[in-house]
């Protein structure tokens, strides 16, 4: 193989597989399991080499009602519910896909980062399935699941710029390969989803807060309340959202003190103002991250968003506008694949499997697991679990 040949992705892959002794089946069918926060999920994804992937099934059992009385996810309750629901979710995913375990090439499972009890429940379940069926086991980074979603849904080629924005995470990553990410920046405190959830709580709206705030904001006046756009005055791609939450608390208390309570319109105006502030910050920081990315990768102008907050229509539209204005292809997954699901885990497992990666029974559950191993950790561990 000449040096030039080896530089093409196909040749690299052949060389890598040869070096690792791995075989690459033409068609792969992967079972994925996800249980790192408050959704128990199982899915089956199939891909024939060189063709778009197919999601044969994607089952998500939420736990919203179990945590509703606590104002947030209670890790012990979540872990117990995952233990109860994982088996059923796997059975349902296999049945809906019309396959049995013997048709599966490998079992992929979220091995972190996340709430440790839930991650452990998933890893133990996957190990049991792997041991019982003799199928290979693949540990998947939950963040890689989100970050690789545009390849599952839109067949996006590497490299691309990814904004991963969810309840526990907010970071700009350059995706170079299934296991190779470079972080350009991220939040220095709360994740935007967390801020949406807190906003909902402060305004007496249901959890998860993102969809509730987005719904309420529809009837709101964006400019009635002036919310800050944190860190826009500083260079770089880092973000901050905890000040926004404090601003919302002050605004709410101001209105309550003045009028004795909140009207529907007050709530709608606050939601609209808050959502606009988050959207503006994400848009402006995306513009900056794209400039940095395009400087190094002018030949591959692609920008993708993933994670629960990517389900927000205003934010999607704002990001798309930034990409359009810079001549960059924009990709956002369908709403069901923005929030946590196991199709993204099965897909990330499939990508790792094709590269020859396998785990064994020593696979451990990791509360923290940054995607970019070289960048220093940015955040502490919040209520929604460990962040990277």
Q: Is 190 in the site for Zn ion (CB under 5 A)?
A: no
Q: Is 269 in the site for Zn ion (CB under 5 A)?
A: no
Provide φ and ψ at 288, rounded to 5°: -70, -45
If phi > 0 it is left, if psi is from -120 to 50 it is alpha, else beta; for residue 221 that is beta
Q: Is 312 in the site for ligand KG4 (CB under 6 A)?
A: yes
Q: In this chain, which stretch among 103-111, 287-295, 335-343, 371-379 interacts with Zn ion, using CB under 5 A?
A: 335-343
Angle CA 210–322–334, to nearest 5: 45
Binding letters toward ligand KG4, positions 162-201, x by CB under 6 A: ----xxx------------------------xx-xx----
C-alpha neighbours within 13 Å on the C-beta side of residue 67? 25
CB 109 within 8 A of CB 54: no
Residue of the chain from 211, 220, 349, 370 that contacts ligand KG4 (CB under 6 A): 211
- Partner whose footprint covers residue 220, from Zn ion, ligand KG4, none (CB < 5 to 8 Å by kind): none
Query: What separation in angstroms does the CA of 165 have from each of 190, 230, 279, 282?
Result: 11, 16, 11, 9
Q: 294: Cβ–Cβ under 8 A, 6 or more apart, which residues? A: 301, 326, 328
Q: Is 210 in the site for ligand KG4 (CB under 6 A)?
A: yes
Q: In this chain, which stretch among 56-64, 97-105, 301-309, 371-379 interacts with ligand KG4, using CB under 6 A?
A: 301-309
Nearest to ligand KG4 of 112, 139 (CB atom): 112
Q: How many CB atoms lie within 10 A of CB 132?
A: 9
Q: Is 32 in the site for ligand KG4 (CB under 6 A)?
A: no
Q: How far is the CB of 97 from Zn ion (least distance, A)?
A: 22
> Which residue bears the tokens 């190094």?
296
Q: How far is the CB of 340 from Zn ion (least distance, A)?
A: 4
Q: Is 166 in the site for Zn ion (CB under 5 A)?
A: yes
Binding letters toward Zn ion, positions 126-165, x by CB under 5 A: ----------------------------------------
Query: What separation in angstroms does the CA of 118 have from each of 22, 47, 127, 275?
Result: 31, 28, 14, 30
Q: Is 113 in the site for ligand KG4 (CB under 6 A)?
A: no
Q: Is 209 in the site for ligand KG4 (CB under 6 A)?
A: yes
Site for Zn ion in 339-358 (CB under 5 A): 340
Q: How far is the CB of 384 from ligand KG4 (least distance, A)?
A: 6
Largest CA distance in the chain: 77
Q: 198: Cβ–Cβ under 8 A, 6 or more apart, which residues? A: 190, 209, 245, 248
- Partner whose footprint covers residue 190, from ligand KG4, Zn ion, none (CB < 5 to 8 Å by kind): none
Q: Is 31 in the site for ligand KG4 (CB under 6 A)?
A: no
Q: Is the dihedral of CA 129, 131, 134, 140 positive or negative?
A: positive
Q: Is 339 in the site for ligand KG4 (CB under 6 A)?
A: yes
How far is 190 from 13, CA to CA, in rounded Å?
Answer: 38
Nearest to ligand KG4 of 340, 359 (CB atom): 340
Q: Is 197 in the site for Zn ion (CB under 5 A)?
A: no
If phi > 0 it is left, if psi is from -120 to 50 it is alpha, else beta; for residue 114 that is left
Question: For residue 220, what is the DSSP state?
Answer: S
Rg (CA), the chain: 21
Question: For residue 159, what is the DSSP state?
Answer: P
How far is 274 from 326, CA to CA, in rounded Å?
Answer: 26
- Token pair for 35: 């249980």
- Partner whose footprint covers residue 209, from ligand KG4, Zn ion, none (CB < 5 to 8 Å by kind): ligand KG4
Q: How many CB atoms lie within 10 A of CB 70?
A: 10
- Partner whose footprint covers residue 311, from ligand KG4, Zn ion, none (CB < 5 to 8 Å by kind): ligand KG4
- Partner whose footprint covers residue 208, from ligand KG4, Zn ion, none (CB < 5 to 8 Å by kind): ligand KG4
Q: In this chain, which stretch among 15-23, 62-70, 93-101, 210-218 interacts with ligand KG4, using CB under 6 A?
A: 210-218
- Partner whose footprint covers residue 210, from Zn ion, ligand KG4, none (CB < 5 to 8 Å by kind): ligand KG4
Site residues for ligand KG4 per CB under 6 A: 37, 166-168, 193-194, 196-197, 208-211, 214, 307-309, 311-312, 339-340, 384
């Amino acid at each position: 193989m000449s040096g030039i040949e080896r530089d093409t992705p196909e040749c690299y892959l052949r060389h890598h597989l040869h070096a690792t002794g791995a075989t690459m089946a033409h068609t792969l069918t992967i079972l994925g399991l996800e249980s790192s926060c408050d959704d128990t999920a199982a899915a089956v994804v199939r891909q024939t080499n060189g063709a778009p992937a197919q999601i044969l099934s994607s089952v998500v059992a939420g736990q919203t009602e179990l945590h509703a009385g606590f104002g947030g996810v209670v890790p012990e309750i979540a872990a117990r519910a995952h233990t109860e629901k994982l088996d059923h979710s796997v059975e349902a995913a296999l049945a809906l896909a019309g396959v049995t375990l013997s048709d599966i090439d490998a079992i992929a499972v979220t091995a972190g980062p996340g709430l440790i009890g839930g991650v452990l429940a998933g890893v133990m379940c996957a190990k049991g399935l792997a041991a019982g069926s003799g199928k290979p086991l693949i540990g998947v980074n939950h963040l890689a699941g989100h970050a690789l979603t545009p390849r599952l849904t839109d067949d996006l080629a590497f490299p691309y710029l990814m904004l991963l924005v969810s309840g526990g995470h907010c970071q700009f990553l350059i995706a170079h390969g299934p296991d190779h990410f470079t972080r350009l920046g991220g939040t220095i405190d709360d994740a935007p989803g967390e801020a949406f959830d807190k906003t909902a709580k402060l305004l007496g709206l249901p959890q998860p807060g993102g969809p509730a705030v987005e719904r309420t904001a529809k009837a709101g006046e964006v400019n009635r309340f002036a919310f800050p756009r944190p860190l826009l005055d500083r260079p770089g791609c880092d973000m901050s959202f905890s000040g926004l939450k404090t601003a919302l608390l002050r605004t709410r208390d101001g209105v309550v003190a003045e009028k004795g309570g909140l009207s529907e319109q007050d709530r709608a105006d606050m939601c609209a103002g808050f959502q606009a502030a988050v959207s503006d910050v994400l848009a402006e920081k995306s513009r900056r991250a794209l400039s940095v990315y395009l400087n190094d990768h002018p030949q591959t102008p692609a920008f993708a968003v993933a994670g629960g907050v990517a389900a927000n229509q205003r934010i999607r539209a704002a990001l798309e506008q930034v990409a359009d204005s810079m001549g960059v292809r924009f990709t956002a997954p369908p709403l069901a694949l923005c929030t946590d699901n196991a199709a993204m885990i099965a897909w990330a497992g499939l990508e790792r499997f094709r590269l020859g990666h396998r785990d064994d029974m020593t696979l451990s559950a990791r509360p923290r697991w940054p995607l970019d191993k070289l960048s220093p950790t940015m955040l502490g561990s919040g209520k929604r679990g460990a962040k990277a």
